[in-house]
């Protein structure tokens, strides 16, 4: 694989590594050695991680540049970015939602979120690899 070239599987691995670097426990992932993630709303994300200290789940989704325009992707972004979870003090908080994309389509991911009016949500994080 040439440097800078990403495929879906390496993006998922990058998400796993990123979540691990934050001290999160990877509970489910579409990756060898992990249990498959469960469906959240209409789709299963690529990675589900958990912060034991904060009792907070994290959702990760990997997208190739060509997938960013697909209706399925937009459904996932909408569903995953709205997911609520009770935090320790019983307040509902939106789950942190991380989107991993190849470096060359970071701006396209940002544009997709803007078109969906999701760009102002502070729980959405775009990572490029």
Residue 72 parent element (H or E): helix 71-82
Yes or no: say if 58 and 71 are a contact pair by the CB < 8 Å rule: no
Residue spans per domain, the chain: 13-118
Q: What is the DSSP letter of 46?
A: S
What single string gives the DSSP state of each residue in 77-116? Answer: HHHHHH-EEE-TTS-EEEPPEEEEE-GGGHHHHHHHHHHT
* pLDDT at 3 (0 to 100): 42
Mean pLDDT in order along the chain per 10 residues (129 residues): 69 98 98 97 97 93 97 97 76 90 96 96 96
pLDDT at position 54 is 87
Q: What is the pTM of this model?
A: 0.92
């Amino acid at each position: 694989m040439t440097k800078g070239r990403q495929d879906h599987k390496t993006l998922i691995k990058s998400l796993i590594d990123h979540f691990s670097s934050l001290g999160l426990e990877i509970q489910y992932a579409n990756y060898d050695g992990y249990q498959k993630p469960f469906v959240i709303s209409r789709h299963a994300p690529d990675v589900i991680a958990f912060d034991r200290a904060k009792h907070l789940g994290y959702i990760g989704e990997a997208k190739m540049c060509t997938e960013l325009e697909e209706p399925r992707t937009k459904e996932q972004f909408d569903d995953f970015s709205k997911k609520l979870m009770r935090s320790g003090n019983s307040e509902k908080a939106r789950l942190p939602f991380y989107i991993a994309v190849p470096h060359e389509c970071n701006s396209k991911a940002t544009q997709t979120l803007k078109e969906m009016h999701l760009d102002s949500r502070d729980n959405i994080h775009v990572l490029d690899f």
